[in-house]
Amino acid sequence: MIRTRVKELVDACFQVGVRQGLWSAGGAGKFTVEIPKHENQGDFSTNIALVLAGIEKKNPRQIAAKVREILEQERELVDTVEIAGPGFVNLTIKTEVWQQLLKIIEKSGPDFGRSTVGAGKRVMVEFVSANPTGPLSVGHGRQAILGDAIARLLEATGHDVYREYYYNDAGRQMRVLGESARARYLELLGRPFTFPEDGYQGEYIYDIGRKLVDQYGEDLVERESVEPFKKMAEQTIFEDISSTLERMDIRFDNYYNERSLYENGYIDSVVQELKSKGLVYEKDHATWFKTTEFGQEKDRVIIKSSGEPTYRLPDIAYHREKFKRGFELLIDIFGSDHIATVPDVMAGVEALGYDPSKIKVILHQFVTLMRDGKQVKMSTRKATFVTVDELLDEVGTDAARFFFMMRKPDSQLEFDLDLATRESQENPVYYVQYAHARACSILRQATEKEVEIVACGDADLRLLTEPEEMALLKLMGAFPTLIESAALDHEPYRVIFYLMELAGQFHSYYNRHKVISDHAALSQSRLCLVAELRKVFGNGLTILGLTAPQTM
RNA sequence: GCGCCCGUAGCUCAGCAGGAUAGAGCAACGGCCUUCUAAGCCGUGGGUCCGGGGUUCGAGUCCCUGCGGGCGCGCCA
C-alpha cells in the first residue's frame, strides 16, 4: 500500500543515483523500507545509505545526504526527509496521504488486505492427517487450526488452495482398533472376551461396540475376521472427526487414502524407479533406499524382510503424486514427533526428479493445557487425553482458534483454559472482537441519533489530526503488507498480534475522544475512520476464520 | 552419543532478511462508568535478552562452545 509507494520512490531514487554516477547498480534490491520502531524516526525508514556505503566503501551519512537531496525533489508523498543515527534515512509522509487512505479502504471494502500475489499458484496444504483410531486430541487441534489458518491466508492472497487429509486405514494400528472394538462388543453382550494387550482403552470404543450390537445383534459373535469391527470403528471415528472439524469450520477438499497408492501401483512404480536409478539394494532380506546419497547418516529400509513397506515408502509415493497432480507448492503440517520422516521424503522426491524445495514442512511443537495454574496430564495410552471436542465445549471455537493461532509453531503452546473461558478483559479473544463490536456500536449510535454517515469522499478528512487518529491511520495502512507477508511466510500468529495492536489503539482512542459530538463535520470524519476501522477488524478476523460480532 | 526446536519482565510470549533508546498481555499496585457497550481506558513498578567466547561500524538477532527444557534418532507411523 503506502509502504509499496515509498519503496518505489526509494527504488527510483536509487536509479537516479546510479545515473548520476553516485553509486554503482550493485546495491539494487539489497536495501529495505521499513516502519521504524520509534515514533521520532518518521513514518518509514530506509537503510539504503548504510547498504550502499558498505558496497562503495564510503561514509554512510554522506550517501544519506545525497539520498535526501534526491528524495526531496518529490512532493506528492513525502513531507520531510531526515538523516539519523549511523545513516538511516527517515521519511515522514504527508498527513493528507494518510487521511486519504480511508477512501482506499472504503473502495476496497472486504478486499482491503486481500491481494493477488499468489494468483494462479496451486498449493496444497496437507494437515491433520490423523489415522481414524480415535477422536482428535488437542495436539491435532493445534495442527487443524494452524493448517486451516495458513490455507485461509493463502486464499486471501490469491493462491489456489487445496486442503487434503491423508490417512491410512490398513495398518497394524487399525487392526488393533478393530480387535479393541470386538472386545467391547463381546463384553457388552456378556460374552467372554480378551482385550488386546496394546488395545485402545478409550470410552469411545464402547460407543462403537454399542453400534455393533445395535446393528448386528449377536451375529458377529463367532466372526473370525476383524473386518466388520474395523469398518464400524473407522466409520464411527471418521464421523466423529469430521464433525469436530466441522465445528471449527474446517473443511477438506479431499481425504486421501494411503491404500489407493498400492491399488494404483504407485508404490511399486516408486520402487521400480528408484531401482532403475540404482538407489536401492537388498540386504538382510530387506530393501534399502540409499538415503546416504542425499546427505543422511544412514540408509533406510523401504521394504521390510516381511515384504511390507515401511511408512516412508508410501510417504514418498504420496508426495510424488502431489507433484504429479500439478501443485506448485506443497505445505505439510506435522507434529514435531514426525520430524524423522522429513529428510526421507525429501530424499525420495529428489531421487524421483522433483524439487524438494517446493515442499514446505511446518513442524509444530506440542500443546500443554493449563488449569488452575497446573498442567493437565495427558496420556494417549491411558486415553486420558483431552479431545478437541471437549476443548470446544469448554472454550468455544473462537477462543480455541485464537489461542492455537496465537503462538508460532516453533514454540510449545501453553493453553490456559481459565484464561480462554474468562469473559473478561484478560481474555485476548474478546479484546479484538470487542473492538469490532465497539466500532459497529458507534455506527449504530450515529444512526439512532440521526447523525448522517457520509462517504469518505464527502467528509472533511483533514479534520482527523489527533495523534491517536494518525497512529490508527498508519497502522491501518500497514494491514495489506502484513497479510501478504504473513501469508507468504505461513505465519498466522502475526495477524493476531497485529489485530491486538490495532484493537489496543482503537480502545485507547475511544476512551480519549468522542466520535459523535456537537461538531457535525468532525463527527462525520470520525465516523468515516470508525467505519473503515470496522472493515479492517472484520477483514482480519474473517481471514483468520474468527467471527466478527456486531454486538457483545 | 547424534539431529531439530526452544531459553527475552514474577508468568505466557513478540521482536518482521544484524540496525538507531529491548516490547505486549497477564499477574501486582493506584486511578476512571449521570456522556458513543468498563469484555474498555489511564498511570506505577519490574530485565546480567541462559552463561562464555567470536564476527561486525553495530548482535536479543549470525558463528563456536557450555548449561537447561522439549521432540526425534526402528525392518513402529
Report the distance separating Cα A295 and Cα A317, nearest Å: 20
For residues A258-266, average pLDDT: 94
Residue nearest to nucleotide B57 (CA to C1'): A86
Query: CB of residue A506 closer than 7 A to nucleic acid strand B?
Result: no
At A186 the pLDDT is: 96
For residues A179-184, average pLDDT: 96
Cell 508404490 found at: A267
- pLDDT tens readout for residues A500-550: 999 999 999 999 999 999 999 999 999 999 999 999 999 999 999 999 999
How far, in Å, is the CA of A428 from the C1' of nucleotide B26? 10
- Nearest nt (C1') from A507 Cα: B40
Domains of chain A: 2-93 (3.30.1360.70), 122-166+251-364 (3.40.50.620), 171-247 (no CATH), 424-543 (1.10.730.10)
Percent of chain A with pLDDT over 90: 70
- pLDDT confidence tier of residue A1, bands split at 50, 70 and 90: confident
Query: CB of residue A421 closer than 7 A to nucleic acid strand B?
Result: no
Which residues are paired to A389 by β-bridges?
Answer: none
Length of chain A: 552
pTM reported for the whole predicted model: 0.94
Query: CB of residue A422 closer than 7 A to nucleic acid strand B?
Result: no
pLDDT at A380 over 70: no
How far, in Å, is the CA of A428 from the C1' of nucleotide B39? 10
Q: Decide: helix, strand or coil at residue A309.
A: strand
How far, in Å, is the CA of A378 from the C1' of nucleotide B10? 27
At A193 the pLDDT is: 94
- pLDDT tens readout for residues A92-114: 999 999 999 999 999 999 999 99
Query: CB of residue A47 closer than 7 A to nucleic acid strand B?
Result: yes
For residues A286-300, average pLDDT: 90
- pLDDT confidence tier of residue A382, bands split at 50, 70 and 90: low
Helices first, then strands: H and E counts in chain A = 20, 15
At A425 the pLDDT is: 57
- Nearest nt (C1') from A131 Cα: B77
At A95 the pLDDT is: 94
At A230 the pLDDT is: 95
Query: CB of residue A41 closer than 7 A to nucleic acid strand B?
Result: yes
At A281 the pLDDT is: 94
At A424 the pLDDT is: 61
How far, in Å, is the CA of A123 from the C1' of nucleotide B2? 35
At A379 the pLDDT is: 67
- A137: burial class by Cβ within 10 Å (0-12, 13-18, 19+)? buried
- Nearest nt (C1') from A501 Cα: B24
- pLDDT tens readout for residues A306-361: 999 999 999 999 999 999 999 999 999 999 989 889 999 999 999 999 999 999 99
- A164: burial class by Cβ within 10 Å (0-12, 13-18, 19+)? buried
Report the distance separating Cα A366 and Cα A373, nearest Å: 18
Q: Decide: helix, strand or coil at residue A205.
A: helix
Nucleotides of B under 7 A from a protein CB: 2-7, 12-17, 19-21, 23-27, 35-42, 57, 70-77
Report the distance separating Cα A511 and Cα A376, nearest Å: 39
Alpha-carbon separation of residue A121 from A43, A127, A320, A480 (angstroms): 33, 19, 18, 19
Window 335-374 of chain A: CB closer than 7 A to strand B: 336-341, 363, 365-366
At A202 the pLDDT is: 87
Cell of A308: 511390507
Query: CB of residue A90 closer than 7 A to nucleic acid strand B?
Result: yes
- pLDDT confidence tier of residue A375, bands split at 50, 70 and 90: confident
- pLDDT confidence tier of residue A184, bands split at 50, 70 and 90: very high
At A384 the pLDDT is: 67
Query: CB of residue A281 closer than 7 A to nucleic acid strand B?
Result: no
Report the distance separating Cα A89 and Cα A33, nearest Å: 10
How far, in Å, is the CA of A408 from the C1' of nucleotide B8? 16
pLDDT at A492 over 90: yes
- pLDDT tens readout for residues A36-72: 887 788 899 998 888 888 777 778 888 889 999 999 8
Query: CB of residue A305 closer than 7 A to nucleic acid strand B?
Result: yes
Pairwise pLDDT comparison (A54 vs A10), residue with the higher score: A10
- pLDDT tens readout for residues A456-474: 999 999 999 999 999 999 9
Query: CB of residue A58 closer than 7 A to nucleic acid strand B?
Result: no
At A39 the pLDDT is: 78
Query: CB of residue A267 closer than 7 A to nucleic acid strand B?
Result: no
- pLDDT tens readout for residues A409-439: 988 888 888 888 776 656 788 899 999 999 9
